Amino acid sequence: MTAVLFDFSGTLFRVESTDSWLRGTLTDAGLRLAEAEFTAAARALEAVGALPGGGDPARVPEELAEAWVIRDRSAALHRAAYTGLSRQVTLPDPALHEALYDRHMSPAAWAPYPDAVEVLRTLRKRGIPVAVVSNIGWDLRPVFREHGLDPYVDAYVLSYEHGIQKPDPRLFATACEALGADPRRTLMVGDDRRADGGATALGCGVHFVDHLPVTDRPDGLLPVLELVG
């Protein structure tokens, strides 16, 4: 393998917990809930899957079903889908639903997996080009810059900027073209077997990692270094 494509959420980075997400948003808004109310709201938001990157909803409401399927094709669809899920939960101020969505896009809401820097730095030293290929509805570049990983990424191919979402092979093809890479000698690394597995249609190799909290997956990316170069 002479090039590597990485997924973002659950692969290189993991979003904060639902508790941290809600608490931070409340603090920024100058609001405070009693602990029992806070816990109930956090568990309810978790159950409906309102935190992007935090886990899929157990059930998508009928009125959101169409937008949910194609949510990563545009910024507007992504926001509408996730704020729609959030609004199933009653919060002390209706404006918090938009504020919650805004917070999840901030660099502070994300943490890189412990071995992400080492793996990306090593690939750069070996001269292996890297692209981030993500189903997403917002610009993740500031997250990479804030956490110091941007210097190791040669291209960002984001679904909402192309109107195409994984597993559509066209998104992976766009990434390979951006790197000048032969798909048959390119490795796709991700946590979603359906979405990221779409790269196999081009002949790419695929390596899967587990979508776990950062504290529970200290070295899940290290095997990538044995597969390339």
Rounded to 10 degrees, what is the CA torsion of 73, 77, 81, 84?
180
Whether the predicted pLDDT of 39 surpasses 90:
yes
- Confidence band for 207, pLDDT divided at 50, 70 and 90: very high
Average pLDDT over residues 139-163: 98
Q: What pLDDT is attached to residue 16?
A: 98
Question: In which order are the strands placed within the sheet that holds 205-208?
Answer: 155-158, 130-134, 3-6, 186-190, 205-208
What structural domains and CATH numbers belong to the chain?
Answer: 3-14+111-227 (3.40.50.1000), 16-108 (no CATH)
Which residues face 155 on adjacent strands? Answer: 131
Q: What pLDDT is attached to residue 117?
A: 98
Q: Are 162 and 178 in contact (CB under 8 A)?
A: no
CB atoms within 10 A of CB 149: 20
Quick one: tokens of 146?
Answer: 């804030």
pLDDT cut 70: percent of the chain above it: 100
Q: Which amino acid is at 45?
A: L
Q: Assign residue 65 a region (left: φ > 0; alpha: ψ between -120 and 50; beta: otherwise).
A: alpha
Average pLDDT over residues 14-38: 97
Average pLDDT over residues 43-49: 97
Q: What pLDDT is attached to residue 58?
A: 87
Q: What pLDDT is attached to residue 183?
A: 98
Pairing of strands 186-190, 13-15: unpaired
Q: What is the pLDDT of residues 97-134, one digit of tens each?
A: 999 999 999 999 999 999 999 999 999 999 999 999 99
Give the H or E element holding residue 76: helix 75-86
Q: Are 220 and 113 in contact (CB under 8 A)?
A: yes
DSSP one-letter code for 9: B
Average pLDDT over residues 56-83: 96
- Confidence band for 23, pLDDT divided at 50, 70 and 90: very high
- Chain center to CA of 67: 18
Q: Are 203 and 220 in contact (CB under 8 A)?
A: no
Q: What pLDDT is attached to residue 138?
A: 98
| C-alpha separations of 89 from 34, 43, 124, 131 in Å | 16, 10, 44, 37
Which residues face 3 on adjacent strands? Answer: 186
Q: What pLDDT is attached to residue 182?
A: 98
Quick one: tokens of 54?
Answer: 């935090």
Q: What pLDDT is attached to residue 96?
A: 98
Whether the predicted pLDDT of 179 surpasses 90:
yes
Average model confidence (pLDDT) across the chain: 97
